[in-house]
Amino acid sequence: MRKFYQEEWFGIDFKSFVKLDSSRVADKSFYDKFYDEFYKRYKSYEELPESWRDSKKAVADFVLRQSDPSERILSIGCGSGYVEYLLRKEGRNITAIEPSLEATRFLEQFSDVKIYHGYFPGCLDKTNSFDLAYMNATEYVFDKDALIKLLNCIKDYGVKRFLLVSASIYDGGFAPLRLIKDTIKLILSRMSLYELGQFWGYMRTPDEFAKAFKEAGFEKIEMGFIREGIFWIKGEI
């Protein structure tokens, strides 16, 4: 597992609305402010970068192939909700969870997807049950223990299959030069001589994802790539 940092997203400079924090992962307050800037810049899904939309369409197509029209689907951490928007257009019965009230403006405007604002599992009553649950490019905010805790909680909602899609993947190979560079940057940042950027989360190897799934009790674990840079792993309960 490896930490990574960012200074912008969707062309929005984080420094324009917040002081960067290289020690704490971006929280709800950060994302509320980010999405406030985001929706000043973009007025519909169609205005978002084509390459980003194409990658999300690939994820939506993959989820469609993994599910049946009659199944109830839960999305944990939907962000702006483009994947959920696409799935709903195809008639899927989908419920989305998103902590940021600001993030889901497009989804609320252009779709009738049911949305719970808050953190999983606290925002969701246990009377709800789902056939398939998935996370799309949100797992990076969780450290090892928090990710396993979340995976364990999924079992309380009748979920038969869980699918995780990640763009925060690396091969885990030993790279001495990269390790030296990362160490130097960290030392310089502590001396206020270098800015790492906003602590964005954790990159993992496929094996680390598989180990977390096994530790949480998932069976029949499968994994692969939707396309270059977009990893998936699925487990059954």
Mean pLDDT of the chain: 91
In this model, does residue 232 exceed pLDDT 90?
yes
Question: Is the preceding omega at residue 121 within 30 degrees of 0, hence cis?
Answer: yes
Question: What is the per-residue pLDDT for 40?
Answer: 97
- pTM, rounded to two decimals: 0.90
Core vs surface per residue 109-138: b (16+ CB within 10 A) or e = eebebebbeeebbeebeeeeebbbbbbbbb
- Whose structure tokens read 């950060």? 30
Q: Any idea where the domains of the chain sit in the sequence?
A: 2-171+199-236
The helix/strand/coil state of 121 is coil
| pLDDT tens digit sequence for 84-136 | 999 999 999 999 999 999 999 999 999 999 999 999 999 988 888 999 999 99
Residue 205 per-residue DSSP state: -
Mean pLDDT of 200-224: 96
CB 45 within 8 A of CB 108: no
The alpha-helical segments, DSSP class H, found in 134-228 are 144-154, 176-190, 206-215
The alpha-helical segments, DSSP class H, found in the chain are 28-41, 50-65, 82-89, 105-110, 144-154, 176-190, 206-215
Residue 153 per-residue DSSP state: H
CATH of span 2-171+199-236 = 3.40.50.150
User: Could you give the CA distance from residue 72 to residue 7 in angstroms, rounded to a whole number?
Assistant: 37
CB 218 within 8 A of CB 153: no
| Residues β-bridged to residue 177 | none
| pLDDT tens digit sequence for 162-206 | 999 999 988 765 556 565 566 665 555 565 555 679 999 999 999
